[in-house]
Chain A
Amino acid sequence: MKHARAIAMAIGLAAAAFTGAASAGPGQDAIIAAWADKAKAADPAFSGFDAAAGKAFFFAKHTGGGAETPSCTSCHTDNIKKSGQTRAGKAIDPMAVSVQADRYTDLAKVEKWIGRNCNSVLGRDCTAKEAGDVISWLASQ
């Protein structure tokens, strides 16, 4: 009995560690879960988000979008712990949750900006997998 409890606790701890690594808090977890639902709906074989792929996507130079916005870093810069800047010169708060705790806690806000920014950068909507990957990475930073 004692043994079983210890095992259960170990599993619980491991699960907590896993979610801890994947995101920053309950607000972000709920957002990522919502995107996982979208990804599953789009692809029944979906098996989880890949933060490393999301990081690569964020830093990549894309084609198909606006001439002045080839990358997420065009506005958010390549240091997500620092402020970014819009093309009109207005500061954008850092994207890393470790310095900006309210990031990725409002689904409507995330959907609005992913919708806009993917189209500005890639000239198309992001797939649910692409969006979930990048949010998973951002939320873990």
Chain B
Amino acid sequence: MKRLLLAAALLASTAVAATAADRMVTDEMTKAECAACHIAYPPRLLPAANWEAVMAGLQDHFGEVASLDDASVAHIRDYLVANAGKDDPTAVDAEGKPLLRISERRWFVGEHKGEVSEASLKKAGTWANCVACHKGAEKGQFDDD
């Protein structure tokens, strides 16, 4: 019994450690380009179809022009898609198009519900500003809340 508990505890701890590592953005171009304006968000926070949609729409990236040369777009898209999260049929907007904002995903809304005061959100300015609360966000650490 004790052994089983120990094994379970070990498994749980490695699962947590693996999560931060899994959330690390390891591709240099992706890190450099995305992080010019915001942290390079962990690829697994969006499904592949959603990353495809983000990367196909850089000429209107949440109201800004974030265009890149075709080769860089292809490289970054391939990295994001290869490391994307699980497919999720609920990660769509009212018209059925893939959601572009991680902050509109159900689990994101659920995780932050009741956790973030209006004052904190105001200080952060936007849900896009993960590091305002998660100091280790750039290293994939989001469990510090």
Residues of A in contact with B (beta carbons under 8 Å apart) = 66-69, 86-90, 112, 115-117, 119-120
Interface size on B, residues (CB 8 A): 19
Q: Which residues of B contact A (CB under 8 A)?
A: 35, 37-39, 59, 62-68, 124-126, 128-129, 131-132
Residue of A nearest to B72 (CB): A112
CB of A119 within 8 A of CB of B65, answer yes
Q: Are A87 and B64 in contact (CB under 8 A)?
A: yes
Given the interface pairs A86-B37, A88-B37, the reply to whether A68 lies near B63 with Cβ below 8 Å is: yes
Which residues of the other chain, B, contact A90 by a CB distance below 8 angstroms?
Answer: 35, 37-39, 129
Tell me the bound Cα distance from A73 to B63 in angstroms.
16
Q: Which residues of A contact B66 (CB under 8 A)?
A: 116
Say yes or no: B65 contacts A89, CB within 8 Å.
no
Q: A87-B128, A88-B37, A90-B37 are in contact. List 13 more A-B contacts (CB 8 A).
A: A66-B64, A67-B63, A86-B38, A87-B37, A87-B64, A88-B126, A89-B38, A89-B129, A90-B38, A90-B129, A119-B59, A119-B65, A120-B63
